[in-house]
Amino acid sequence: MSGVRLLECAGLTKRFDGVVALNSLDFEVNKGEILGMIGPNGAGKTTAFNVITGMFPPTGGDVRLGGESIVGLKPDAVVRCGITRTFQNIRLFRGMSVLENVLVGRHSKLKTGPIGAVLRTSGVLEEERAAVDFALGLMRFAGIVPHPTARAGALSYGDQRRLEIARALASEPRLILLDEPAAGMNPREKSELNELILAIRERGVTVLLIEHDMKVVMGISDRIVVIDHGEKIAQGAPADVRRDPMVLEAYLGASYA
């Protein structure tokens, strides 16, 4: 599948003191696709996410979104450019309600400042009402059943994962980065997650997906990028990647390749 480039990572390198987490990583995400990113533990997948979202700056290389470099931007600025993410170890605002979590995700689309908050002009109230409706719609979209005022920390594991996705979608991103969304889910929840990820693409959001569960990642990805030791070792359609000798070696050892 070749389309319009949405995200391009070129020569992306990240060193932590002596450890090379990313070593001149090149890959691109096309507009409207679901790109799976796989690799053994410690391959640098989450580091790639952290660098793309601005959580820490790369040692070298470039990240371009729609042709413009986003390297050096702070995470909140990257969100405003149109990239959001979920976290491998769920990081919800546990003490806040489900609704508040989604509304925080919508933060960058809202404008109310301190003065507006105190005066509560009709414009501010209109914005809040629209934001609440949008958030409730997203909760329905993600299949979150509990009441909007329920405490996020009290949700079931699957609901917490879904809430993270809803929260990330609230900023209406162009690209969403999902970091192991299926981790810890049972088979039924996994198939629901598959449906959800496909539906996210239907909304016009491009998906970059880190996933260890091969059924999930092979089933829904248009293309797959395989990373090992911070380098790209293969990319292509799921069926081709599965047979790639480099991939087999990385996962199973040289004797199987």
Partner 1 sequence: MRMASVPLVGLWFGFLALPISGPRGALGIGIACAVCILIVKILQAALKAGPIAERAARLQASVTRGWEHSEEIIRNKKFAPIFLLCLLLLPWMLDQYSTDVLVVTGIYVMLALGLNVVVGFAGLLDLGYVAFYAVGAYTYALLNAWIGLSFWPSLVAGGALSMVFGILLGIPVLRLRGDYLAIVTLGFGEIIRLVLNNWDNLTNGPNGILITGRPFIGTQKLYQPMHFFYLVVVLCFITMFIVGRLNRSRLGRAWAALREDETAAECMGINITYTKLTAFAFGATWAGVAGVVFAAKQTFVSPESFNFFESVIILCMVVLGGMGSIPGVILGALVLTVLPEALRDLTLYRPMILGGSMVLMMVLRPQGFIKISGQRLSVDEARLHESASEEGGA
Contact set with partner 1 (CB under 8 A): 53, 55, 74-76, 79-80, 84-85, 87, 91-97, 99-100, 103-105, 107-108, 110, 112-114, 116-118, 120, 124-125, 128-129, 132, 136, 140, 147-149, 167-168, 171
Tally of residues, the chain: 257
Q: Which C-beta is closer to partner 1: that of 110 or that of 246?
A: 110
Q: Which C-beta is closer to partner 1: that of 132 or that of 183?
A: 132
Kindly list the strands in the beta sheet with 206-210, ordered across the sheet, starting from the edge strand earlier in the chain: 83-85, 175-179, 206-210, 34-38, 223-228, 231-236
Provide, rounded to whole angstroms, the least separation between the CB of residue 147 and partner 1: 6
Provide, rounded to whole angstroms, the least separation between the CB of residue 87 and partner 1: 7
Cα(44)–Cα(33) distance, integer angstroms: 22
Contact predicate 211/179, CB 8 Å = no
214 residue type, one letter:
M
Provide, rounded to whole angstroms, the least separation between the CB of residue 95 and partner 1: 6
Contacts with 113 (C-beta within 8 Å, 6 or more apart), sequence order:
none
Q: Which C-beta is closer to partner 1: that of 55 or that of 183?
A: 55
Provide, rounded to whole angstroms, the least separation between the CB of residue 139 and partner 1: 9
Cα(199)–Cα(241) distance, integer angstroms: 25
Q: Which C-beta is closer to partner 1: that of 153 or that of 204?
A: 153
Provide, rounded to whole angstroms, the least separation between the CB of residue 144 and partner 1: 11
Q: Which C-beta is closer to partner 1: that of 95 or that of 253?
A: 95
Q: Which C-beta is closer to partner 1: that of 47 or that of 53?
A: 53
Contacts with 200 (C-beta within 8 Å, 6 or more apart), sequence order:
165, 169, 176, 207
Task: For residue 231, give both structure tokens.
Answer: 């380098």
Cα(109)–Cα(131) distance, integer angstroms: 9
Provide, rounded to whole angstroms, the least separation between the CB of residue 107 and partner 1: 5
